[in-house]
Every structure is written in structure tokens, then in C-alpha cells.
Structure 1
Amino acid sequence: MDFTKSDAWRRRAHAVIPGGCHTYAKGDDQYPQLSPGFISHGIAGHVWDIDGNEYIEFGQGNRAVALGHAFPPVVDAVSKELAKGSNFTRPSTIELQAAEELLELIPGADMVKFCKDGSDATTAAIKLARAVTGRTKIAYCEDQPFFATNDWFIGTTPLDAGIPDAAKEHSKPFRYDDLGSLEGLFREHPHEIAAVILEPAKYEDPAPGYLQGVKDLCRQYGALFILDEMITGFRWHNGGGQAYYGVEPDLSCWGKALANGFSVSALAGKREWMELGGLHHSKERVFLLSTTHGGETHALAAAIATMRTYKSEPVIETLHRLGNRLLVEGQQIIAAHGLSEFIQIDGKPCCLVFSTLDATKQRSQAMRSLLLQETIRRGILMTSLIVSYTHTDEDIDKTLAAIDQSLPIYKRGLEHGTEDLLIGPPSKVVYRKFN
């Protein structure tokens, strides 16, 4: 494959954009050197780079595109709304329509505020919980890699440059699926924890009763229970992880697949808490969320069209079916090459990731880069194995074939090292102190 145009654009991008792009997960350091630098366009489960190379793509905009790229009903809804204007000095009726559509899917929520990214939603939930409880500390799940770019979370990672120590001191980690870990925090910090925030699940289902146990501990110790549904929302179930696992949080945060790639996120929750950010109460006001673009009409039209597709078509069922093929048949192919101890596919079928291990069975960026390089050469762009509604069985067949063809090279990398196989340096983890 030729990446001449991509390489030229990379040089230009790094001269004017820190990191060369606007999302760290899309950076050049996350990919092998032989990879597309820029995407030209996408249709359904396929994308094309600016050099004209076509790929079957998994990851789908970091999980934001669940219906597939340029999904016609979403594009049509956006086009119609754009013709009317996109932002006004008073609300548009589409803001109420989008709110009602989302609340239909979340039985435990009474009110919603829209914003533009996940960090805004989760951080607003934290602020609201602090206002409700009068407390400052936050318990967050340390086994789940990302909640916000804001100080309260990113300050707990190696990427804490520029964040005051005082901001970090209020965030306390607990372990997933370990109620004792969370209860220990509550006992260590009595009457100090405002909220507990976690994703309903990451890769494995929680133990039976775990999420309800978290909610019960929040009730017992007076904290709000917040679920981050950025990933589980619109993949696990139409009503997110809370519907799938049968638990109602006080507040929940949504985004990613909510508008099939358009910029919409949301904070939803119980009226008694959410109304503190409204006008119809006599308590101290909470400046909850106020975003110039939160009511952007064409993005909310995309959200409505996306949600209506979920309600009328078998989206969730298709994501699980296609993902299950990748999981089951992918594991069979890996086993046939004798590599089951070195390549692992994890997660729910609707949201699969894979791990690459070296000869010592340690996670390896070099081995990951080698596998990505070889599958890219075969027309597959798979930083994960996350499917969309418009991927086809033929796409899955071709992907499995590309993996099968790439694994002999992976095995050579295990046996002899990647130096003579991998072009350029290995990719790197995002959370690192220095470049």
C-alpha cells in the first residue's frame, strides 16, 4: 500500500496541531508507521484514506459510530435540519424532541441536559453530586481507563502535568467487581464521598448483584450513584448497561453512539437532582451545563434519527451477532496457529478488543504494531474489533481471512523478534509520562 499523501499530511499536521490530531487515541503514536494517516471518507463499515486505499474498519470512530458511516437516515435528518439553521438565541423545539426520545429509553431518568463530549457530561455529574451532598471526594473505578479530560480524573493518570495536587487529592480509586474495595473507601473517608462513578461493564459482565451492591453502598453512605454509559449505551442494550443489568443510577452519562458520530453527549438523571440546575426550585442554583453548541440542531437531529433506528431495527441484535462471529471464529483461527496464549480477544461481542502478548506473555506494543501492520496490508483497519450495524457477513469473512494470513508473521515475531518485520517504531500507550 502507498501512504505518500498521508505521510505528507502528517508532517503538515504536526506543525500546527499538537499531536497531529484532536484525539490522543487517533494519534500517530497509536499506529504502526505503515498505516493510513488520514481518512478521506467512510460508508457503512468501510473507510478510504487520502491515498485511495480502502479498509474494512473496526473501532468506528472510537465507538461513536454504531450504525455505520454515513448512515442514510441520519445523514438525511441532518441535511433537512441544516437547511433551517443550526444555532439560535433561544431553544429550538428539536431540543425537547431529542430529550423526550432519550428519556423514553432510560426509564430511571426524568431529565436530561445535552452537551458535546463525554468529559463535559461526567464532570457535570461530579459537580452536581458535590452540590447535592456538600462533599468533595469522588470514588472512581480504577480498572476502567477513562472518565474525563478534566482535572478530577486525568490527574489520577501519569498524564497529570499542569494539574494542581489539590485537585488530585479528592479522587479515590476502587476496584471493579469488588464491593469490599468500595466499602473500604467509604469507611476510610466517612461523610466525604459525594459520588461513585463507574461504567456498568468494561470487558466482562459484573458478578450477579454487583451493580446493585454499589448502589446500596451509595445509599448507605449518602453518595450519588453515577453510571458512565458512554460505551455501554447503545451497544449493550437500547437502554444501556443499566437496562441490561437491571439497575437504576441517580445520574448517567451518555455520548459516543448516541448520534452516530455527530457531537452529542448527555447527562440524564433523577428530577430531584437534575432540577438543581433548573429554574423551578428555591435552593441554591447549580450552574450545571451551559454550552453554546449543546442545542446545535443538526446534531440533535442525528441523535433523534439514531435513537429511532435503534427503536425500529434490530441494531443491538446485529452488533452482538456479528461480534460473536469475530469472537468465536477469531479465537478458533488463533488457536489453529497455536497462538491462544499470545493473542486474546476480550469483551462483549458488541464491543470487542484484543490483546497482543510477546514471547514472555507480557503485553507488547511491538507485537500489537506488527499485527496492525499486517492486517492493514490486507485491507483491515482494526485497532479493536468493534462492529457497526452495517458491517456485513462478507466483511467479517474478509477480516477473519486477513487475521489468518497475518498470524504466521506474528508467530515469526514471537520466535525471532519484530526488528526485521516491523517497519518503523512500535506504537505506544496513551498514558505515559514522557514521549
Structure 2
Amino acid sequence: MKEKKLQLEKSLNEFEKGKSLIPGGVLGIRRPYNFVQGEFPIYFDEGKGGRVKDIDNNEYIDFLCAYGPMIIGNREEEIDNAVINQIQNKGFCFSLTQTYQNLLAEKMNELIPCAEMSLFVCTGSDATTTAIRLSRSYTGKKKVMRCGYHGWHDWCVEVKGGVPQKLYEDVYEFKYNNIDSLKTLLEEHGNDTAAVIITPLGHPLAAPIQEPKKGFLESVKELCNQYGIVLVFDEIRTGFRVSLGGAQQYYGVTPDLAVFGKAMANGYPIGAVTGRAEIMKEGESNVFISSTFFPNSLSYVAALKTIEILQRDNILDQIWEKGTAFNNKIESLLKKYPIGAKISGIPPMMFITFDKDDTGTYKAKRNDFYTQLIRKKVFLQPYHHGYICHRHTQEDLDYTVNAIEEALIYLKEKYYQARSV
């Protein structure tokens, strides 16, 4: 049955106001055209656990999880209280650094295979850019081979407006799970390549998630060793979600450097670079890394408490268990209703996509599918994979499976039964 359209009047009115105040109303991937325009809310008002509420008072089961940071859930009292205590009793923004960064670096060394030294920044883009700068300084080389989304800074941003070509002309892209594409690039540029940066789990925009084929990550590492290149794993999404040691621990391949963010502080802004001490020490004097806000301790306190809870309560094991059952049920539904959709990913990170066709009908089916879900108060994004967080209840997951089945039935009736009449 076709669901009624949501009441979104406040959200749409606020967006009209926002367009006169903010370029585009809201920035980047949060703009309405990255969802289904007119169907999705544009402004959230509050969140608790695994649910969020928009300014029109519609409540959703949230599978986007703020694009990844919410590993436990919204408004986690234990984490927020640790931050509030820091604000009220210690403070957090000083001319000198507080000791919490040392505690967090020790925790990174304990958990992450490549970690020997770490430094902390505010965002994932800060972290990936820092890793590239350290790599170039350490090797004395300038070229970079990339595979994945690595942020919005000049060297890697995909939309090139306002960026001179000379700032990214030494950066080359290779294909995930295609070792020959990297080999070809290195045959030409290997002796002048400083870094290979790759997401150990492939999660390209709007495309199915790919796990590494057998031997792929190992071959990437072998090529880096052969040419004296720093191997960087971009674990912004996989870190503290795939496992406490990241995807490098899960897949058994240790890079030279790795970058983390998102889930490590359950929503508080943080990025981290960690890895071999001899490379990280380029940050002592050869590479300038500084910001007024990098030493702010609130995110360190939040990260320490988040990691404590993840370890203490075996959160990731629970997420994997819930996600495995959830994904299996969805996969069964997609076989039951063969309308050109498929699920990809791993239990903590899943994505429902539609196979491309010559007529472009897959786009209409995708819009209809995600429209039906949002009308059922299930918040998943058509162009970005979803996540399981700790606070998603079994009731949430069961409701979502039922909502997905109803959406698939709607698509089958619209696109297939009508065609056969």
C-alpha cells in the first residue's frame, strides 16, 4: 500500500529561509537533492538513542547515524556527562594542552595494530590531509595514489570549483579490488609516489559496498613496500565500527599510517592519525600541524568514554550480531521480490542499491523505494550506505524489515504487475 506523504511544512519553509542565509540553504551532502526532494526532512530537532525527530515532529528510526559518528546512540548520558563534567569542573580550551590526548594516544596504541604514535585533529579531512603531508615529508616524494573518499581539502576534493589544478595534479585515482589499476600507475609514477591512501572497505558514493577480494589489500601493501611508499588506510568510517582495531585488524593487513574519526567519539568532532613512529615524527618539526582547536579536550574525553563503553559492554559484538540477522532478512526479501535491488556491505554497514539498466528505470525505482521508507519513518539515504548503532532495538530492526518488504511489494506492483496487464 502506498504511504501518505509526510507533513514537512516547517522543514520546507525553514529551507526557503536558509537559502537566503546559507549558500545552498545547507551545505554539501545534506542538501535535499542528495535524498528525495520534497519527501525527506531537511532539519532535525532532536535525537535519542537510535531515533531522531525533525522540526515537524516526525520521528524516524535513524540508520544514517549522522553519516557514521553515532556508534552507540544519540544523547548518551554517560558520554555527555563526562563532557559536561569537563566543561564545568576543568575547562577544555587553553593555551597549553591537557593530558587527555596522551591517554587517548595510549588507548590507540593498545587497540590499533599500526599505532605507535598518534596525533589528533578535528575532522576526517584534517586527518587524511595530515597523513598525506607526513607521507610526503617522510619520503621526499610528491605523488599520491588514492582510492576512496578522503574529504574536501584541495588535494582530494571531487568537486574542483575554486581549486587550481596544480594543487591536485599529482594525485591519481585507482580502482578498488583492481590491483592492476594500481600497478599500472606505479609502473609510471612509483618512484615519485609518497603515499597510497585507500579505504580498506570499499564504499564508493551511491554504489554497492565492496569487501576486499582475497589478497587485494596484501597486494597493495606489497607494492608499497616495493616502491618505498607509505601505505595509508582511511578508516574514518570503519574505525571503531568494524572492530576496535579497525578494518586493518579485521582483515589482517597493517598499514604504515591510518586515519580515524566518526565513531571514535560518538558524535563529538575528532579525527586522528596514527601509525609508525618514524613517519609520525615528521610532525615534530618537519611538518607544521597546528590549530587553535586541535587541543580542545572535550572530544578527547568523549572518545575515551566512548571507547571505554565499547570495550566494557562488547558493543561491536552486539552490533555485528544484530546487523547479521538484519542483513540476512533483507537479502531474503530481495530474493523474494526480484525487482533489481541488492544489499551489500557488512553487518555494521549496509546499503540497498538498484542495478543500473539501459532505460534509467532504476533511478525511479530507487526514488520510490526510499520514498516509501521515509514515509514509514525509516531514515535511510538513497546514495549513501546505512549503519547499525547500539541503540537500534530489535523492535526497530523488525519494523524496518517489514517496512522494506512493504516498499518492495509497492515497487513490484507498480513496475511489474502493471507491465504484465
Using the size of structure 2 for normalisation, the TM-score is 0.91
Instruction: Please tell me the residue identity of whatever aligns with 1:50.
Output: I
State the match for 2:410 in structure 1.
409
State the match for 1:353 in structure 2.
351
State the match for 2:35 in structure 1.
31
Identity %: 32
Instruction: Please tell me the residue identity of whatever aligns with 1:29.
Output: Y
Instruction: Please tell me the residue identity of whatever aligns with 2:129.
Output: T
Paired residue secondary structure (2:386)? coil
1:267 paired residue among 250, 269, 273: 273
2:129 paired residue among 99, 123, 133: 123
Distance 1:413 1:192 in 2: 55
Distance 2:287 2:245 in 1: 27
State how 1:74-223 maps to structure 2 within 5 Å: 74-83=79-88, 84-141=90-147, 144=148, 146-154=149-157, 157=158, 159-202=159-202, 203-223=209-229
Distance 1:404 1:179 in 2: 38
Structure 2 segments unaligned to the other structure (5+ residues) = 1-5, 203-208
State how 1:299-310 maps to structure 2 within 5 Å: 299-310=299-310
2:370 paired residue among 369, 372, 377: 372
Using the size of structure 1 for normalisation, the TM-score is 0.88
By how many angstroms is 1:277 displaced? 1.0
Distance 1:312 1:297 in 2: 22
Paired residue secondary structure (1:139)? strand
Paired residue secondary structure (1:189)? helix
Residues 152 and 348 (structure 1), Cα distance of their counterparts in 2 relative to 1, 3 Å cut: same
Q: Confirm or deny that 1:290 pairs with 2:290.
A: yes
State the match for 2:257 in structure 1.
251
Structure 1 segments unaligned to the other structure (5+ residues) = 280-284, 418-435
Q: Confirm or deny that 1:278 pairs with 2:284.
A: yes
Paired residue secondary structure (2:196)? strand
Distance 2:34 2:363 in 1: 9
State the match for 1:7 in structure 2.
12
Indicate if the aligned counterparts of 2:319 and 2:348 stay in contact, CA closer than 8 A. yes
Indicate if the aligned counterparts of 2:108 and 2:115 stay in contact, CA closer than 8 A. no
Q: Confirm or deny that 1:317 pairs with 2:317.
A: yes
Paired residue secondary structure (1:19)? coil
Paired residue secondary structure (1:20)? coil
Indicate if the aligned counterparts of 1:108 and 1:269 stay in contact, CA closer than 8 A. yes
Indicate if the aligned counterparts of 1:326 and 1:385 stay in contact, CA closer than 8 A. no
Paired residue secondary structure (2:162)? coil
Distance 2:298 2:140 in 1: 38
Indicate if the aligned counterparts of 1:325 and 1:396 stay in contact, CA closer than 8 A. no
Residues 103 and 21 (structure 1), Cα distance of their counterparts in 2 relative to 1, 3 Å cut: farther
Indicate if the aligned counterparts of 1:82 and 1:297 stay in contact, CA closer than 8 A. no
Distance 1:413 1:38 in 2: 31
The answer to which of 308-317 and 52-61 deviates more is 308-317
Q: Confirm or deny that 1:335 pairs with 2:335.
A: yes
Instruction: Please tell me the residue identity of whatever aligns with 2:75.
Output: A
**What RMSD in Å do the two structures reach over aligned CA positions?**
1.9
Indicate if the aligned counterparts of 2:139 and 2:194 stay in contact, CA closer than 8 A. yes
The answer to which of 391-400 and 377-386 deviates more is 377-386
Indicate if the aligned counterparts of 1:323 and 1:350 stay in contact, CA closer than 8 A. yes
Indicate if the aligned counterparts of 1:92 and 1:297 stay in contact, CA closer than 8 A. yes
Distance 1:36 1:79 in 2: 30
By how many angstroms is 1:95 displaced? 1.8
By how many angstroms is 1:360 displaced? 4.7
| Paired positions, count | 402
The answer to which of 2-11 and 94-103 deviates more is 94-103
Distance 2:174 2:8 in 1: 44
Instruction: Please tell me the residue identity of whatever aligns with 1:87.
Output: C
By how many angstroms is 1:415 displaced? 4.7
Indicate if the aligned counterparts of 2:114 and 2:257 stay in contact, CA closer than 8 A. no
